[in-house]
Amino acid sequence: MPRFPLWVLTTFGCGRDVDTLIGDLTEEYRAGRSAIWLWRQTLRGVASTVTAEVCAHPLLMLQAAAVGALVYVLLLRIGWSLYGTIEHFRLIRSAYTFTLFALVGWGVAHFCRPRHKAAIVVCACPLFVRGTGVFVWQTVCAIASLATACSSMHSRPAARCFHFTVPRWPVLFTGVLVARAFRQRARDGHFISSSST
């Protein structure tokens, strides 16, 4: 049974019936459905449940988008002043990006409880659209950190720090690997020119 699509559904799917939906998909996959079918159901499932939440609480989602944009711009401005120092340290830069998106995710999640998953996805969409292509490594970091923000809301406050730093490191590491693959594009100046706008 592929775990990744079910993880995506558990992390980003909203509503009362996510667990039963995962059970249904597991049952059908074991009865002979293909992995493509499972992925299609998963992605449409996330889209469908998030859309339902957004339609049910449009004002809250607008507020979430405003909070997300505000935190993002504030932290980006602070980080921009430090950028000259960390420009040549890819790992630190990736960690900074991860922290940036995680803080955006946390800010939005805490503001929009208990609808935090839909709110985080709503805030993430424009960031992903902005990041895809030029900042693929940033996008991967963003997905990892926003997923962390989604998951951390399930744990107790005392355990959140551990939950944030330890189990998601493999995901962050993947982000760093992708960052290395795209380092040439970053060196060409795409990062600097687009971040400053």
Partner 1 sequence: MPKRLLTDLELMILLAVLRAGDHAYVVPVARDIEDTTGRVVTRAAIYTALERLESRDLVSSRLGEPTAERGGKAKRYFALTRAGLASVRATQRAFTAMWRGVPELKGQA
d(CA 72, CA 33): 41
| Positions in the binding site for partner 1 (CB under 8 A) | 1, 6, 13, 15-17, 19-28, 30, 41, 44-46, 48-49, 52
CB of 35 to partner 1, least distance (A): 16
Closest distance to partner 1 from the beta carbon of 78 (Å): 39
Locate 92 and state its tokens. 């630190």
Smallest distance, Å, CB 109 to partner 1?
22
Q: Closest CB to partner 1 among 55 and 66?
A: 55
Identify which of residues 37 and 162 has a Cβ nearer to partner 1 in the complex. 37
Distance of alpha carbon 97 from the chain centroid = 12
Shortest Å distance, C-beta 1 to partner 1: 7
In the block, tokens 């970053």 appear at 186
Residues 6+ apart with CB under 8 A from 131: 138, 139, 142
Nearest to 65 by CA among 106, 108, 98, 97: 108
* 28 versus 188: smaller Cβ distance to partner 1: 28
Q: Which is nearer to partner 1, 20 or 34 (CB)?
A: 20
